[in-house]
Amino acid sequence: MTLLPDWLTHNNDCRELEAMLRNRSPESLETMAARSRAMTLRRFGRTMPLYAPLYLSNYCSSGCAYCGFASDRTTPRRKLSEEEIRREIAAMKQLGIQDILLLTGERTATVGFEYLQRAVEIAAESMQRVTVEAFPMSVEEYRELAMGGCTGITIYQETYDPLQYEALHRWGPKKDYLYRLETPERALEGGIKTVGLGVLFGLSDPVTDALMLYRHARHLEKTYWRGGISVSFPRLRPQTGGYEPTYPVDDHLLARIILAFRIAMPDVELVLSTREKPSFRDGMAGLAITRMSIASRTTVGGYREGESPEEGQFEISDSRTAEEFCQALRNRRIEPVFKNWEPAYNGPSGEIPGCS
């Protein structure tokens, strides 16, 4: 049985958040939406920074019961060569994308740290901002990624419930709950500027998971005062392997969770991907969300080839083109922003010349 740290289980400053999550009345949702909208507008204005994911590889050593890329799936495995990465990035740049999220599965002999590090360097040659969603790494590895131009990582705990976590992660390095939990700390320690947290809603009790996610974010904010925190709200989608969510989260509850996070964390970046359908994405864009993905492909590569016949990690619900999505944002008086970073700010955070 995993012994959870106190900061994850004993923290009373989330009583207001819990009250917002447990109240399910439609009136309270409207009230929260109005408050969240005003807070978002005041702090973040009427702009929406955009990014797009690039799946570098679907090799994986873990056995997550809910994932289309788990190592027991029959999905054909491949990884992009350096040349293919360059071509994919060129195709993404044609769509206007300047902010890229590089993804892999859990570390394998075929796709390990050196491969990822090289991909970051290649991406940083032409993209304005490079972030990574891959496997947990050591402090030293994160420092090297930051040196190569990686400014942020995303690492979801998936569920904070240790029993569900144990059951769902059937084998592989991801079975180690605490090592994964401490990954954002190692990344910030290594000089990565921003860590993205999240749970995969549908795997466990959503309110408990949301509260623990909040405690995790607050713990990081207090411990690593230079660290940027973002929170994502992925919800389980139909995947290869046919896993059915044990705790389905409907639109109303997901919206409530997102709004509650905005109210509880007024300055934190909240992210929504193309897992969600257009109406939900467009609606939440004006209310709480401050960073979104566009024109996503969840197959390895996929930008250059257009629609790929392969099966991706999960099904995309918002398949609008970059231009269609930007127009939808503009119709809601939100400006899509492709470049919201400057490579002059790359490099490990907190390194002051003469002190490092």
Partner 1 sequence: MDHLQLAAHTFSSRLILGTGKFSSAALMLEAVKASGAQLVTVALRRFNREQLEDDLFGPLSEMPGITLMPNTSGASTAAEAIKAAHISRELSGSPFIKVEIHPNPQHLMPDPIETMEAARVLASEGFLVMPYISPDPVLAKRLEDVGCASVMPLGSAIGSGQGLASAAMLSIIIRESSIPVIVDAGLRAPSEAARAMEMGCSAVLVNSAIAASDNPAEMAAAFRDATDAGRRAFKAGLMRESSEAVATSPLTSFLGEQS
Taking the C-alpha atoms of residue 163 and residue 166, their distance in angstroms, rounded to an integer, is 5
Nearest approach in angstroms of CB 19 to partner 1 is 23
- Of 5, 173, 245, 347, the one binding partner 1 by CB under 8 A: 347
Look-up of token digits 């702009």: 47
Taking the C-alpha atoms of residue 36 and residue 39, their distance in angstroms, rounded to an integer, is 5
- Of 72, 267, 324, 327, the one binding partner 1 by CB under 8 A: 267
Q: Identify which of 296, 338, 339, 304 has the alpha carbon closest to the alpha carbon of residue 321.
A: 296
C-alpha distances out from residue 248 to 72, 102, 164, Å: 24, 28, 15
Handedness of CA 104, 105, 110, 112 (dihedral sign): positive
268 binds partner 1 (CB under 8 A): yes
349 binds partner 1 (CB under 8 A): yes
Based on CB atoms, which residue is closest to partner 1, 92 or 236? 92
193 binds partner 1 (CB under 8 A): yes
Residues 189 and 157: beta-carbon distance below 8 Å? no
> How many alpha carbons lie under 13 Å from residue 73 in its C-beta half-sphere?
25
Taking the C-alpha atoms of residue 54 and residue 344, their distance in angstroms, rounded to an integer, is 23
- Of 47, 110, 223, 327, the one binding partner 1 by CB under 8 A: 47
3-state secondary structure of 266: coil
Based on CB atoms, which residue is closest to partner 1, 319 or 340? 340
Based on CB atoms, which residue is closest to partner 1, 32 or 48? 48
334 binds partner 1 (CB under 8 A): yes
3-state secondary structure of 52: strand
* Mode of pairing for the β-strands spanning 335-337 and 269-272: unpaired
- Of 25, 26, 42, 309, the one binding partner 1 by CB under 8 A: 42
Q: Binders of partner 1 among 61-100, rule CB under 8 A? A: 96, 98
- Of 225, 244, 306, 307, the one binding partner 1 by CB under 8 A: 225
- Of 17, 44, 215, 273, the one binding partner 1 by CB under 8 A: 44
Interface stretch with partner 1, choices 161-169, 172-180, 225-233, 293-301 (CB under 8 A): 225-233
Interface stretch with partner 1, choices 55-63, 163-171, 264-272, 313-321 (CB under 8 A): 264-272
End-to-end CA distance of the chain: 40
Q: Identify which of 284, 181, 189, 174 has the alpha carbon closest to the alpha carbon of residue 235.
A: 284
157 binds partner 1 (CB under 8 A): no
Binding site residues, partner 1, CB under 8 A = 41-47, 96, 98, 193-194, 221, 225-229, 267-269, 330, 333-342, 344-345, 347, 349-353
